[in-house]
Amino acid sequence: MPQPPGTCGTLANSVGTILLFWNRSVQLGTFTLCCLLWGFGPSYAAVAKHPVAHKKSVTKKRTVVHKNTAKSKPRPAVRPATRRVAAPLAPVPTRQQSGTQIASQENFVAAFQTVPHSVQQAKFWESATSFLGVPYRYAGNTRQGTDCSGYTSTVYKELGISIPRAAHQQFAIGQPVSADQLAMGDLVFYGPSELTISHVGLYLGNGKYSHAALTTHNVRIDTFAPMLGNIRFLGARRIVPTLGYGASLYSTDSDTTVRSLGNTSNLNVTEVEGLR
């Protein structure tokens, strides 16, 4: 069948045009690629040859730029941590007794040797008076330091007799004794009320008793009195009934006691207030 005139020539021309455009496009792409490779080739080659050195140089450059552009405040100096150590507590000062008081105590203690006494009484007297001058120490019961109930319990312990440690427990034992019948070895108790026993001492005779006084900070001999400041005498307990029998130091109101001890008018021992 005959084709229309000019058809084959038109088709050939179209194909030739497309091929020419494609050839030009390929050439242009090849040329562009070569230019790109020519421009970036040395940099990529350097990175491939020395990747670590290149990375360090870039990092250093960034650091320098950051330091030059940023305005950072200088950090304050950090002080080393210091440990605070509490200052040691000062020892409780012992209130000094006057020369008259010391002489009175010594005369009173020495006078015991001039009156009749049993072996048990001598042992009690030696133990009780050996504590004179010992510093007051809360919860202590030795000759390095003692409190009131520690003093009384230790004296009886040295006699071979065990009594409770606390003052209120000692108040609950023994035989009750009135103030006008006190004898050597009796425990005398003080406090604001019978429900609150705050102090205990050892009756020695002739209206005197020994105790560990908190206010004077030592063991000493004082005059027995029904009232001592804001606390009062609550009662006495006799632990050993035979300890005071037959001794000249039996009663607080005995005239023979004063005569047997000689001149005791200078026994001006200060009464202790606020005892514990």
pLDDT tens-digit series, residues 157-191: 999 999 999 999 999 999 999 999 999 999 999 99
Please compute the mean of the pLDDT values over residues 101-127 and round it to a whole number: 86
Q: Is 117 a catalytic residue?
A: no
CA distance 254 to 244: 13
Question: Which pLDDT value is given to residue 225?
Answer: 92
Which is nearest to 164 in space by CA: 132, 135, 189? 189
> Is pLDDT above 60 for 105?
yes
pLDDT bin (cut points 50, 70, 90) of residue 267 is very low
Please compute the mean of the pLDDT values over residues 81-106 and round it to a whole number: 57
CA distance 249 to 183: 7
Which is nearest to 262 in space by CA: 122, 114, 129? 114
Q: Is 211 a catalytic residue?
A: yes
Residue with tokens 């242009």: 28
CA distance 245 to 42: 124
- The segment with the largest mean pLDDT, out of 58-72, 75-89, 228-242, 254-268, is 228-242
Question: Which pLDDT value is given to residue 241?
Answer: 87
> Is pLDDT above 60 for 276?
no
Please compute the mean of the pLDDT values over residues 70-82 and round it to a whole number: 64
- DSSP assignment, residue 93? P
E-strand ranges in 74-198 read 141-142, 145-146, 175-177, 187-191
> Is pLDDT above 70 for 99?
no
Q: Is 217 a catalytic residue?
A: no
**This prediction's pTM:** 0.57
Active-site residue identified among 66, 148, 168, 217: 148
Q: What is the enclosing helix (H) or strand (E) of 257?
A: helix 255-261
Domains of the chain in sequence order: 99-261 (3.90.1720.10)
Please compute the mean of the pLDDT values over residues 32-52 and round it to a whole number: 59
Active-site residue identified among 8, 50, 168, 211: 211
Bridge partners, 221 (sequence order) = 210
Q: What is the enclosing helix (H) or strand (E) of 35?
A: helix 7-49
Question: Which pLDDT value is given to residue 114?
Answer: 83
CA distance 252 to 240: 18
* Tokens read off for 161: 């007799």
CB 199 within 8 A of CB 149: no
Residue with tokens 């409770």: 164
Count CB neighbours of 156 within 10 A.
Answer: 21
Q: Is 219 in a helix, a strand, or coil? A: strand
